[in-house]
Amino acid sequence: MRIKPTVNHRRAWGLPWLLIAILLLTSCGQPTPAPSPTPTKTPKAPAAQATDAPKAVPPTDTPAPPATDTPAPPADTPAPTDTPTPAPLPGNYLDPAKDPNLAPFTGLPLTDATVRDRRPLAIKVANTENVRPQDGLSKADVVIEQRVEYNLTRFTVIYYSQGAERVGSIRSARLPDLEWPAVFDAVLCFSGGVEPVRQKLYASDFADRILEQARNGSAYFRDPNIAVPNNLFASTTTLWNVTAARGWDKRPQPALGWVFSANPPANGRSVTSIKIPYPTGTDRVEWRYDAGSGRWLRWQGGVAQNDASIGAQLSSANIVVMAANHVPTLILEHDTVDRGVNRSIEIQVWGEGPVTVYRDGQAYQGKWIRGGRQDPLRFVDGNGNLIPLKPGNTWMQLVPLDMTVTAQ
């Protein structure tokens, strides 16, 4: 039997729906609260780098590819800021990239076409105490001093605008020499090398312009009055004759990107002495500014260092101190036992790092930049503008990131 709903039943069913309707009506037209913004994460500031050691890098016997993250400089060196668009060069700057009559590595006049169109030479010269004084260093456009093992430094000497009839003593190539022939577009000249290094050199992009004495003996000569292995020398005239006969001669490309100015830029810091504490006492370098000549004079191991060919103290218009990551590798430079100090050192001169340019008794801080293997090596200030070198020769001092160079 169907039960007919009473009034009370209707009220019981109708009240909930009435309440729902009221709630819907009261919510219409009310603004919906905006969702709270999602908080963004603030990047953490990088931890300060210790000043007593660079970041550890696992040893490797294979050169690392160009680094994308440049190691931070030590805490006591101001970190360079991002490089803005450089301003146009001042009118008094000399730019060899625009003037073919300027030597690209010295900024000095270069009008002899036979000199202008020859290939630079990068010659390996020993720097142990028993070979000093060396021959021919005063005639180089650029001398690069770098550690080749823990307690040894060696030179890569760049000749272009002038030469020397006796250069040496010439010794073996090392891992950093995978970079300098590319930077200076040079022919690499050396005595030999351990096999892992030789294999890398002959697999490089400059393998077709290598003059190793072991394969090109007639391009070098030995001094019978000096004991082997320190008696190997060469004449740049002979080396250039060989490069010309092989069709290697051409003006170096690309240009380094160096500019020059006879007058020092403003905002330099006065400096009269630069001390570079390479690990062995006999290798420690000092440069002293001579105001009379406007040049830096060189001491090493506490002794004035001369060019034996001319009997005069070595000097330079510019000193460039480049800090770069130094990585001991698994390649042993001598002996078959790993003694720690005899590991070949890879110096990572790609990317960027701190640099100080010294000229005219003044110091200019900034950073060195080498974006890619074929890109020029440039020295820029905090605003990204090129730091001009003084016209003349340059000594480049490569130091680890944690080394404290004293300039006062």
Q: Give DSSP secondary structure letters for 151-171.
A: TEEEEEEEESSS--S-EE-B-
- Separation of alpha carbons 49 and 338, rounded Å: 29
Domain count, the chain: 1
Residue 28 has pLDDT above 60, yes or no: no
Residue 352 pLDDT: 96
172 token code pair: 């073996």
Per the document, the length of the chain is 408
pLDDT in tens, 130-146: 999 999 999 999 999 99
Q: With 0.85 as the threshold, say if the pTM is over it.
A: no
Q: Is the residue at 188 inside a domain?
A: yes
C-alpha 303/C-alpha 306 separation (Å) is: 9
End-to-end CA distance of the chain: 115
Q: Which two tokens stand for residue 116?
A: 């202008």
Q: What is the pLDDT of residue 309?
A: 94
Quick check: is 21 in a domain?
no
**Mean pLDDT across 242-261:** 89
260 within 8 A of 109, measured Cβ to Cβ:
no
Asked if the structure places residue 295 within a domain, the reply is yes
Please state the rounded mean pLDDT for residues 343-358: 95
Residue where the block lists tokens 């970079």: 179
Answer yes or no: is pLDDT of 102 > 60. Answer: yes
State residue 100's pLDDT score. 86
Residue of 16 and 94 predicted with greater confidence:
94
CATH code of the domain in which 341 resides: 3.50.90.10
Query: To 5 degrees, how large is the angle CA 85–CA 91–CA 92?
Result: 120
Domain contains 2: no
Q: What is the 3-state secondary structure (H, E, C) of 282-313?
A: HHCEEEEEECCCCEEEEEECCEECEECCCCEE
Query: In the prediction, which pLDDT does 324 show?
Result: 97
Question: Which phi and psi angles does 138 have, rounded to 5°?
Answer: -70, -15
Beta bridge partners of 81: none
Is 5's pLDDT higher than 70?
A: no
Instruction: Check whether 315 has a pLDDT greater than 50.
Output: yes
Name the average pLDDT for the chain.
Answer: 82
Residue 328 lies in a domain: yes
Dihedral angle sign, alpha carbons of residues 300, 397, 237, 198: positive
**Cα 343–Cα 345–Cα 347 angle in degrees, nearest 5:** 175
Residue 82 has pLDDT above 80, yes or no: no
Q: Point out the least confidently predicted range of 32-41, 100-109, 233-242.
A: 32-41
Measured in whole angstroms, the distance separating CA 344 from the mean position of its chain's CA atoms is 17
Instruction: Identify the DSSP state of 218.
Output: G
Helix (H, G, I), strand (E, B) or coil at 240: helix
Q: What pLDDT is attached to residue 88?
A: 62
| Residue 229 confidence (pLDDT) above 70 | yes
**Mean pLDDT value of segment 277-304:** 93
Q: Is 12 left (phi over 0), alpha (psi -120 to 50) or beta?
A: alpha
- Residue 133: inside a domain: yes
Lowest mean pLDDT among 61-70, 129-138, 157-166: 61-70
Domain span holding position 174: 113-407
User: pLDDT grade, residue 311 (50/70/90)?
Assistant: very high
Cβ atoms 395, 153 nearer than 8 A: no
Please name the helix (run of DSSP H) or strand (run of DSSP E) that holds residue 195, with its range, or none: helix 195-202
Indicate whether 221 pLDDT > 80. Answer: yes
Residue % of the chain over a pLDDT of 90: 65
Q: CB of 300 within 8 A of CB of 283?
A: yes
Q: Before 133, cis peptide (omega within 30)?
A: yes
CA quadruple 35, 36, 37, 41: dihedral, nearest 10 = -140
3-state helix/strand/coil string of 335-358: CCCCCCCCEEEEECCCEEEEEEEE
Within a domain: residue 51?
no
Residue 57 placed within a domain: no
Average of per-residue pLDDT across 360-374: 95
Q: Quick one: pLDDT at residue 282?
A: 80
Q: What are phi and psi of 207, to 5 degrees?
A: -60, -25
